[in-house]
Amino acid sequence: MNPTPVTSGVGAVASDALGFTKVADLIRGRSGGRPQRRAALPGQGDGVELPGGRGSPTVGVLALQGGVQEHVRLLQELGARTVLVRVPADLEGADGPRVDALVLPGGESSTIDRLLRSFGTFEPLRRAIADGVPTLGTCAGLVLLAREVLDAAPGQRSLGVLDVAVRRNAFGPQLDSAEVDLATTLGPARVAFIRAPRVEAAGPQVEVLARRGQGIVAVRQGAVTGVAFHPELTGEPLFHRRLLATRRG
């Protein structure tokens, strides 16, 4: 692995309650303000059809707080339609499910949890994922998916749809943010770690996809994938492409 510390200007945001957006801006700044796109693997085009030939999938991106736009941009460049999910009606209407897949972005997991409950979206989201909607959670999204949060903020809840126990901010503060070349079972990936969580325990049905050092940083259980890092900030399409190709459970 070849970590690139995100140091320039980070000291100015270290006291920020979140600081995610500013650190993300530092990462984007290395590529002229936009994430660099990794080349597609042989035989992989940018347009991805859902299994069954229904054309471009519609992916709901949870948009209550955190890094949303980078996920939207990457998904659209891969050929998906995107909708922003805030309220239960964004997930399902009278005509049935409105999304084929879901992305839970990074941000502050305890804040997203509170907003989910305030908007009445917590249980509908949990139910949709438990019913088999393919889902990718990045950083705080991994924390939201987890069965247990070992160092949860007071009153913090998680969706409990991924059989892992996680620890928040396990790789250090903003000053330790880094871009990393990561070996995964799905292939190599260039990703960003920003106050990243770590999986401390995984159930027997959970597949470990990647480690950083001895720490588990990417897992999959059925149609649910959780990663501790940010592929969207570096323009890494590997995990989003897999999400689009995943069959509903």
Catalytic (active-site) positions? 139, 230, 232
Q: What amino acid occupies position 178? A: A
∠ CA 191-193-198, nearest 5°, is 115
Q: If DSSP codes are grouped into helix, strand and coil, which group holds residue 101?
A: strand
CA distances from 95 to 10, 60, 65 (A): 47, 16, 27
What backbone phi and psi angles, to 5 degrees, belong to 162? -130, 125
**d(C-alpha 237, C-alpha 46), whole Å:** 9
- Cα angle value 235/73/172 (rounded, 5°): 50
CA angle 28-138-112, nearest 5°?
100
Cβ-contact 204, 221 below 8 angstroms: no
Q: Which residue has the tokens 């330790």?
A: 176
Residue with tokens 């720490």: 215
In which residue are the tokens 């924390």 written?
Answer: 143
Closest Cα to residue 171, out of 198, 209, 147?
198
Q: Rounded to 5 degrees, what are φ and ψ at 100?
A: -95, -20
